[in-house]
Amino acid sequence: MEKLVFVLRHADRDATESWCEALRTTVAERLVELGVAGVTVYVRDSAVQDALMRYATMDPPIAAVVTVWVEQSYGPEATAAASILGEVAAAVHGYLVTESVPLRLDDSNPVRTEGFGNLAFLRRPAELTPQEWLQRWQGQHTGVAIETQSTFGYTQNVVVRAVTPDAPAIDAIVEEQFPAAALTDPMVWYGARDAAEFQDRVGRMLASVARIGADRDLDTVSASRYPVRYPFVVPNSVAAQQNSGA
């Protein structure tokens, strides 16, 4: 299977609550009906409107992100998914990615994930080779990010190529899940117990971010996360053995 990440850009005035609800319900159902293996919807709905952090280089900005698992990134399901999403957003860009999951969430129950998702769209600085950049990001920054923040879900998507025309250049897409209180409280965001620990964690994180160029040319969006269809299902025979303790 292959993972596709679709970035939906929509003006804030048009990304209404009804638009967000339709995206995670009727639109998501249309995607499932295509026969895709997995669907997750992130929407910037009313639950996350008070978010302190948001960076935007694109206009209109990112209002939603939809991840879809398909058998072929170039197959009819992928093309149909892009078409369906293109009906409801001002612009839709799709990317084929490789997924790494330092902190996996349990998506077996299709309800809104607790807390909120923070999605970051990274661009590799020109002064770093792809190998240098990946080593700094995945080999060094990953541990710093987990140690200094209160994330309980963390997925790294390295972009292989765009699958829609005229997609903006993006090198990686990060999906992080935070506690709800982190939406408006920086102390909770960094999991800090006091001011000294907060300053230490912020300093370490910002220094690490600068090393991978994520302190500039960045898009981020806070969003509610809705796992619609889980792509990795344990076969019944294996599940039965696990439940029986075999």
First-to-last C-alpha distance (Å) of the chain: 29
The structural domains of the chain, ordered by start, are 2-232 (3.30.70.100)
Q: Which helix (H) or strand (E) holds 239?
A: helix 236-244
Q: What is the pTM of this model?
A: 0.92
Residue 141 CA: distances (Å) to CA of 111, 144, 217, 224: 30, 5, 18, 25
Q: How far apart are CA 89 and CA 84, in angstroms?
A: 10
pLDDT, tens digit (0-9, with 9 covering 90-100), for 13-69? 999 999 999 999 999 999 999 999 999 999 999 999 999 888 888 999 999 999 999
Cite the beta strand spans of 37-90 per DSSP E: 38-43, 62-70
pLDDT band at 112 (very low <50, low <70, confident <90, very high): very high
pLDDT band at 107 (very low <50, low <70, confident <90, very high): confident
Per DSSP, 167 falls in state P
Rg over CA atoms, the chain? 18
Q: How far apart are CA 58 and CA 128, in angstroms?
A: 23
The H-assigned helical ranges of 75-148 are: 76-86, 130-134, 142-148
pLDDT, tens digit (0-9, with 9 covering 90-100), for 167-204? 999 999 999 999 999 999 999 999 999 999 999 999 99
